[in-house]
């Protein structure tokens, strides 16, 4: 089986036997590790084309959680404050890399 050969099985959503595609969240770019319905799933669903499209639409229309909005605003503010200081920019970059690493670790563990 290759990636180009969709698996025919029961769709996790509509329960019909259809060629299925693994759903993958499109927004794995959280500014901060936050609870997220799509990223936190143990196992992404296998969906038929129709359900896959619906799921993507739902994901795209989902507003940021309050916690994530706050974290994003905080990071943007920090970036703006740091624009005057290269040293502080470097510190910010290191902090962001730490967040990314922590997020990746969390993904591996989940
Ligand atoms: Zn379906
Ligand atoms: Zn997410």
| Angle at which helices 66-82 and 86-109 cross, to 10° | 150
Which tokens sit at 79? 């970036």
H/E element, 10:
strand 7-10
User: In which domain, by residue range, is 95 found?
Assistant: 7-109
Whole-model pTM: value is 0.54
Task: Tell me the mean pLDDT in the region 81-104.
Answer: 79
What's the gap in Å between 59 CA and the centre of ligand 1? 16
Within a 10 A sphere around the Cβ of 89, how many other Cβ atoms? 14
Which ligand is in closest contact with the Cα of 12?
1
Query: Partners of 9 in the beta sheet?
Result: 18
| pLDDT digit string, tens, across residues 53-75 | 999 999 888 877 777 788 778 88
What's the gap in Å between 34 CA and the centre of ligand 2? 8
What is the gyration radius of the CA atoms in the chain, in angstroms? 18
What's the gap in Å between 51 CA and the centre of ligand 1? 4
Which tokens sit at 56? 């993507």
Within a 10 A sphere around the Cβ of 76, how many other Cβ atoms? 11
What is the count of structural domains for the chain? 1
What's the gap in Å between 4 CA and the centre of ligand 1? 19
Task: Tell me the mean pLDDT in the region 78-93.
Answer: 75
User: Does any domain span residue 15?
Assistant: yes
User: Does any domain span residue 2?
Assistant: no
């Amino acid at each position: 089986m290759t990636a180009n050969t969709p698996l025919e099985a029961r769709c996790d959503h509509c329960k019909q036997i259809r060629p299925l595609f693994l759903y993958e969240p499109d927004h794995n770019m959280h500014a901060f590790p936050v609870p997220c319905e799509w990223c936190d799933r143990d196992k992404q669903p296998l969906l038929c084309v129709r359900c896959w499209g619906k799921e993507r639409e739902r994901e795209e229309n989902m507003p940021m959680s309050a916690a994530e909005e706050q974290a994003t605003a905080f990071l943007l503010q920090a970036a703006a404050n740091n624009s005057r200081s290269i040293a502080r920019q470097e510190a910010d970059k290191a902090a962001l890399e730490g967040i990314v690493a922590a997020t990746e670790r969390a993904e591996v563990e989940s």
